[in-house]
Structure 1
Amino acid sequence: MVNKLMHMQRVKKQQGATLLGMLIVGAFVVFAALVVMKVAPAYIEFMSVKKVLKAMQSESLGTMTNKEIKDSFEKRASIAYVDTVKGSDLVIEKAPDGGAVVSVSYEVVKPIMGNVSVLIDFSARSDGK
């Protein structure tokens, strides 16, 4: 009998998650999923930009003019569905080995909800640094 009474007291002390707690956790999960869904396309496009720049590095960039490099980027970017970066955004520098290094830095602003937005800075180079 005493064991049963002690067991019932322990059961009373045990409590599960409250409705308010579940709503708060649910709201946090929904907000996190919303942010990921809004930001993921920008990161996917950035990976495409990096892929295009890496592919360009395999070309002989040292023998190409700046206009040819920018045109090459434009063609590759249109195939890779890159809309954010244009050839005019590229920075072309001469490398010590006689080649060229193409780099780009840009920002993407993604609205989350209402007047809340996320600003993401991206930077990529053709030599991978």
Structure 2
Amino acid sequence: MIPVPRQPRASQRGITLFGLLSWAVVLGFAGYVLVRAVPTVNEYLTIKRAVAKVAAAQPTTVAEARTAFDRQKEVEYSITSIDSKDLEITKENDKVVVSFAYDKEIPLAGPVYLLLKYEGSAKAP
């Protein structure tokens, strides 16, 4: 039998099964966190729009501003994290400034939580 000369092993390119599974786990976890966090970001943007509408109306009293926010909250059913009593209402240069801040805990797995801190303010134009 004639021996066949061996050719040098060509370097292989690609990803191993272990590498593929590792990336799948990382991307899956990131997707899970994203799916859990997006509704809270949507709620924050809704609160920010509602506070901007309240500030744009130029309420004359704090009670009037809180009532206006309660009306906005009735319209926007997705606002559940804050109430009108959580708003900080001040005046700067004779313009109403409505501010808010709150924390949102998102349970991920067992005792592991993701803490998101939201804050915002709106000034009358």
Give TM-score, length-normalised by structure 2: 0.86
- Match for residue 83 of structure 1? 80
> 1:56 aligned to 2:79?
no
Which amino acid is the alignment partner of residue 106 of structure 2?
K
Q: How many residues are aligned here?
A: 119
Find the counterpart in structure 1 of residue 92 from structure 2.
95
Report the residue type matching 1:70 in the other structure.
Answer: R
* Contact 2:96-2:123 at 8 Å conserved across structures: no
Q: Which amino acid aligns with 1:109?
A: E
Structure 2 counterpart of 1:125: 121
TM-score (norm 1): 0.84
CA distance in 2, matches of 1:92, 1:58: 13
Percent identity over paired residues = 25
The ranges of structure 1 where at least 4 consecutive aligned residues each deviate by more than 4 angstroms after the TM superposition are none
Larger fraction in helix: 1
Q: What is the RMSD of the two structures over their aligned residues, measured on CA atoms?
A: 1.9
**Which runs of no fewer than 5 residues in structure 2 stay unpaired?**
none
What CA deviation, in whole Å up to 9, does each residue of 1:36-91 have, x standing for no partner? 01111111100001111111122122x2x211111110110221221111001011
Structure 2 match to 1:111: 107
Q: In 2, Cα distance between the equivalents of 1:16 and 1:58? A: 57
